[in-house]
Amino acid sequence: MSKVSSAAFNSWYGSMRSLATQAIFLGATFAAVGAHAQLFSLEQPKFQSLEKDAEFELRQYSPMVVAEVVVQGDLTSAGKEGSRLVKQYIFREGPNAALDQKKPASEKISMTLPVTMEKEPEKISMTLPVTMEAQSKSTYRLHFVMPSSYTLETLPKSADPRVTVRAIPEQKFASVRFSKFSTEANIAEQTALLQKWMDKKGLVANGSPQFARYDPPSVPPLLRRSEILIPVQ
């Protein structure tokens, strides 16, 4: 049996490592695609597309009910904390575990998409003498849209007073869709692009921009669906 040279072995070993790396990458990608597809099977807010221009769109949303919480922090920390609090309400965890003794614990509110965050105007705290100081942390309002089968009357009350539910009437939104990391810089860039498109179309904002996230961080950026939504008159 002939001996295998060191160079040949190294070449073979390098090829095997490359194939193994590709297999791991493809496996992770397929898993992410599967999770991505599963998420898109969840209920989403109903809307009618009034106008579409590449990644920009004008939508007429139907009335909806949301569960929301106001949290402080940067975009990432506020998103994590806000999602945790609202998910405890949806899945009846934490203080909501015994929310309604008349219903089985397994009966939970279904998940929907997207998770939406809106930056609240910075509040100013009074001090003495007569000076004013801006709060160091940003404040975000995060909400999940409740399944359309629920109304304000049929939704259970939250055991955590930080989580509230409210009805949102029919509303027009301008939107832009993008697939990037959800950094504050990228969100600011997409918001500016949407506002420029709105100016071109003669659309007037009727509220603050909202960041809508449809995918978990495990989904690769190129597969993600993120949007900026701005209510319009």
- Supply angle C-alpha 114, 118, 170, rounded to 5: 65
- Tell me phi and psi for residue 209, to 5 degrees: -65, 145
What pLDDT shows up at residue 174? Answer: 98
| Burial (CB count <10 Å: 0-12, 13-18, 19+), residue 211 | buried
pTM, rounded to two decimals: 0.72
Q: DSSP secondary structure string, 91-123?
A: TT-GGGTTS-TTS-TT--PPPBS-EEEEEEPPP
Max CA distance (Å), the chain: 92
Omega within 30 of 0 (cis) for the link into 104? no
What pLDDT shows up at residue 10? Answer: 54
Query: Cα 178 to chain center, whole Å?
Result: 13
- Tell me phi and psi for residue 71, to 5 degrees: -130, 160
Q: DSSP secondary structure string, the chain?
A: -PPPPHHHHHHHHHHHHHHHHHHHHHHHHHHHHHHHHHHTTSB---EEEEEEETTEEEEEEPPEEEEEEEEES-HHHHHHHHHHHHHHHHTT-GGGTTS-TTS-TT--PPPBS-EEEEEEPPPEEEETTTEEEE-SS-EEEEEEEPPTT--TTTSPPPSSTT-EEEEE--EEEEEEEE-S---HHHHHHHHHHHHHHHHHHT--B-S--EEEE-S-TTS-GGG--EEEEEEE-
What pLDDT shows up at residue 108? Answer: 67
Encode the chain (233 residues) as per-residue pLDDT tens digits.
445 555 554 554 455 444 444 433 334 333 433 434 344 467 888 999 999 999 999 999 999 999 999 999 888 899 899 999 998 988 888 777 765 555 554 456 777 778 889 987 655 454 445 544 444 468 899 999 988 888 999 898 899 999 999 999 999 999 999 998 888 899 999 999 999 999 999 999 999 999 998 887 778 878 888 999 999 99
What pLDDT shows up at residue 98? Answer: 63
- Tell me phi and psi for residue 39, to 5 degrees: -65, -35
Q: Which residues contact 128 (CB under 8 A, 6 or more apart)?
A: none
Amino acid at residue number 21 = T
Query: Cα 199 to chain center, whole Å?
Result: 26
What pLDDT shows up at residue 135? Answer: 43
| Burial (CB count <10 Å: 0-12, 13-18, 19+), residue 117 | buried
